[in-house]
Structure 1
Amino acid sequence: MNYILISPYYPGNFQSFAHRLKDAGVNVLGIGEEPYDQLGSELQNALTEYYRVNNLENVDEVKRAVAFLFYKHGPIDRIESNNEYWLELDAQLREQFNVYGNKTNDLKKVKYKSEMKKLFKKADVPVVDGRIVKTKKELSKAIDELGLPVIAKPDNGVGSAATFKLSSEEAVRHFEEEWGEAQVYFLEPYVEGGVLCTFDGLVDQKGNIVFQTSFTYNVPTLELVKGQLDLAYVIQKEIDPKLETYGKAIVKAFGMKERFFHIEFFKIETGDYVALEYNNRLAGGYTIDMYNFAYSIDLFAQYASLVTGGEFKESDAENQFCVGVTQRDAYEYKHDTNAIYERFGDRVKFEQRMPDAFAELQGNQFYAINADSHEEVDDIIRFVHERKNSSIANV
């Protein structure tokens, strides 16, 4: 099997895809921007061949790279990055070279917020009604119909980038100046008091869910970025049955195969859920590592098994919580890395400086710490986030 991995070097924790694919007997071929020497010996050894391009944004250049690898190694069986930023590039390449997986037309339902809403409704999952706006006149009409506050997101956008919370007429005017009708936006009512949570997992080649999990944020991502707040999110030991029912219905409606998925919800005050977004890829940052720590599993290896026609093997170990918690360089905290290890010992599974690309959203120093109970989860978050000036601590 010939598997082209787009951007095998970045992000660093995704390099394990190359290692596990090779372990499964796959011929792994890399295309990326980094010089070969920068890859390091472990990644170099996992790749049968690496083709460096000057710019992955240059589709023609990347197509020439694929054509070369096709000529040298034979037909390509998979082209994948597992990275949201390159989903459209992946799809274009699959279409050009007739490779298994999502093509450009398949991405419409997972790239456009407005299209997602249609499938959420088809799955009979609660949503908040939204409006597409292309002009300031349409924006004004949408706000009249929906009322303030609303969330304004690019209809085709990645994560929380270029997202605005419009709570006042002044905020609307500011958004109009920033926007300038340069792209299509999607407006939906702001869900007051909603707790951001997810239904995540992996589907096999038949579209069956073989792995599922859920995590919950301490604050929504928009507030997290705007206020530069302290982040904590928690991989859950168990999934709320109602959330599981909604999540499975959505996965069925979207009909994806051999892919990770990451579906965002708000849990509202009534205890029900509102579907927000379907992401046709892994959650970002170190979340896949946290899945592995919480469930004593190696999802990189399990993914490689699925790709090669094998089965998914669940762990026999008991599930745990895994807390992803960060500190920001801008603040002074009471407890540094040494103190955190001293307090939590071998429950600290991972600590790492965050890449600059994730730091504004998530913070600068990341810890993944396992816990057995909600009380332990709360203790971890309090301890790591406690600041020297406790009156400004944000837990």
Structure 2
Amino acid sequence: MNVIFISPHFPYYYYNFCDRLKKRGVNVLGIGDTPYDNISQQTKDALNEYYYVKSLENYDDVYKAVAFYISKYGRISWIESENEYWLMLEAHLRSDFNVNTGPKYEAMGPLRYKSKMKDVYKSANIPVAPYIVLTSLDQGLQFARDHGYPLVVKPDNGMGASDTHKLTSDEDFIDFYANKQKDISYICEVCIPGRVETFEGITDSKGKILVCTSHVMVNQVMDNVNEQKDTLFYSQEVEGKDIYTVGNATVQAFKAYGRFFHFEFMRLEEDHPELGKKGDLLGLEVNMRAPGAYIPEMMNLCYDIDVYTIWADMILYDTCYYEIKRKHWVAYAGRRNSKGYAYRSQELYDLFRDNISFETDVPKALAEAMGDHIYVFRAASYDEMKNIADTILLPAGDRAKILARKEAEMREKEAEQLEKEAKEARERAIEARRIADSF
């Protein structure tokens, strides 16, 4: 089998996808825009061959790379990137080279445009926020009059939370419209009062979920980007939960077959006259690729598995050989370089050495949403996980308060101990007098 992997070097841990395929005898053929000498040794070892192009944006050059591989290795069975930025490129290549193991170019509309995603969600009876594709300022202001503020405006065909705006007044809307990118189509929708809950996993060729999980985003990515908040999210159970029911319905509605997938939903945190009751789930968007932000690694830590192996086995054998059982709470805490924190890294390891799985700096291209420096850790319970997260993200200004509180607690314990010892001494003295009086 021959598999082409687009941009196997970024994010850096994506070499794992290639590695598991190569270990199973697959010819793994990379195409990337970083010179071979500059990619990691792990990536080099995970590939049978690497074809360098100056830019993956140049379709003719990438087309020639695929044609070269076909001339050398024969028919290509899969073309993958697991990267949102290159989904249209890989779909275009599938169409041109008749590769049938993933979405082709002509089928990408509902997988890329948020407005078309909503139509698919609704076809599966999954509610979505009221919206319009923005065509004029008057149309937008009328939508605001009909539905009220706040509203969210973002590119209809966009990635992550880039160029996403929360509007709270007509003045915000007018200002946004005057300064928006002219060549971008935007979608405007009612702002959902809630939190993001994800559903991600791997399916076989018939749409059966082989492995899945869900993560709760403590802050919305939009707020992380626009307000430079800390990033915090954690895994939650899926078996027997509504997130699994809605997630599986989404898999079937979007025909996410033979895929790593990543879906986003909003869970209402209050009743809303147009959106539903507190606790309801609404469809937000779908991504036909592996989740980012080290979530594949978090899935491994949560279940004690290797999702890269499951993905490779799906491609080769259309099955999963692991017993999937959730064992840990896993969380991701991202710090900002612009902020100070109460605990240095070594202090955190002194406190949570058995919990912290790894820490790392985030590439600048991803740091806006993910944080500049992150810790991934696991715990035996929700409370333990929350305590670790709170400690990692504790602001520097709160350290003095904590130290003062600990000192007060220590003095209180010392006073309690002294009182206990004094009481015991009095009791001994009374007992001694009683014994003496008995003679």
Range of TM-score over shorter length: over 0.9
Aligned to 2:31: 31
Letter in 1 for 2:119: K
Aligned to 2:139: 138
- The 5 A counterparts of 1:334-349 are 334-349=342-357
Aligned to 1:259: 259
d(CA) in 1 for partners of 2:4, 2:181: 39
CA spacing shift, 1:391–1:271, aligned 2, 3 Å = farther
- The 5 A counterparts of 1:63-142 are 63-100=63-100, 101-142=102-143
CA spacing shift, 1:316–1:309, aligned 2, 3 Å = closer
Are positions 1:354 and 2:398 aligned together? no
Q: 1:275 aligns with which of 280, 283, 301?
A: 283
* Post-superposition CA distance 1:30-68 (Å, at most 9, x none): 000111112233322221111100000001110011111
Count of aligned pairs between the two proteins: 392
Letter in 1 for 2:6: I
CA spacing shift, 1:180–1:388, aligned 2, 3 Å = closer
CA spacing shift, 1:239–1:275, aligned 2, 3 Å = farther
d(CA) in 2 for partners of 1:158, 1:49: 30
* Post-superposition CA distance 1:57-109 (Å, at most 9, x none): 00111001111111111111111000000000000011111112210121111
Structure 2 residue ranges without an equivalent (≥5):
270-277, 402-439
- The SS at the match of 1:92 is helix
Aligned to 2:420: none
Q: CA deviation at 1:146?
A: 2.5
**If you compute each CA radius of gyration, which structure gives the higher value, 1 or 2?**
2
d(CA) in 1 for partners of 2:365, 2:151: 27
Letter in 2 for 1:224: N
Letter in 2 for 1:129: P
More moved, 342-351 vs 36-45:
36-45
Aligned to 2:52: 52
Letter in 1 for 2:367: A
Q: CA deviation at 1:346?
A: 2.2
Structure 1 residue ranges without an equivalent (≥5):
none
Q: Give me the CA root mean square deviation.
A: 1.7
Aligned to 1:302: 310
Q: Check whether the contact 2:214–2:236 (CA below 8 A) recurs between aligned residues.
A: yes
Aligned to 2:331: 323
Aligned to 1:14: 14
CA spacing shift, 1:308–1:225, aligned 2, 3 Å = same
d(CA) in 1 for partners of 2:400, 2:4: 48
d(CA) in 1 for partners of 2:285, 2:17: 25
d(CA) in 1 for partners of 2:291, 2:237: 17
Give the TM-score, by structure 1 length. 0.95
Q: CA deviation at 1:175?
A: 0.7
Work out the percentage of aligned pairs sharing the same amino acid.
Answer: 36
Give the TM-score, by structure 2 length. 0.86
d(CA) in 1 for partners of 2:8, 2:378: 28
Letter in 2 for 1:200: E
CA spacing shift, 1:180–1:291, aligned 2, 3 Å = closer
Letter in 1 for 2:263: I
Q: Check whether the contact 2:111–2:286 (CA below 8 A) recurs between aligned residues.
A: yes
d(CA) in 1 for partners of 2:88, 2:326: 38
Letter in 1 for 2:197: C
Q: CA deviation at 1:309?
A: 1.8
Aligned to 1:292: 300
Q: CA deviation at 1:207?
A: 1.6
Q: Considering Cα pairs closer than 8 Å and 6+ residues apart, tell me whether 1 or 2 has the greater RCO.
A: 1
CA spacing shift, 1:180–1:10, aligned 2, 3 Å = closer
d(CA) in 1 for partners of 2:251, 2:109: 15
- The 5 A counterparts of 1:384-395 are 384-390=392-398
CA spacing shift, 1:114–1:391, aligned 2, 3 Å = farther
Which structure 1 residue ranges, 4+ long, deviate > 6 Å from structure 2?
none
- The SS at the match of 2:72 is helix
* Post-superposition CA distance 1:13-45 (Å, at most 9, x none): 111111111011110000001111122333222
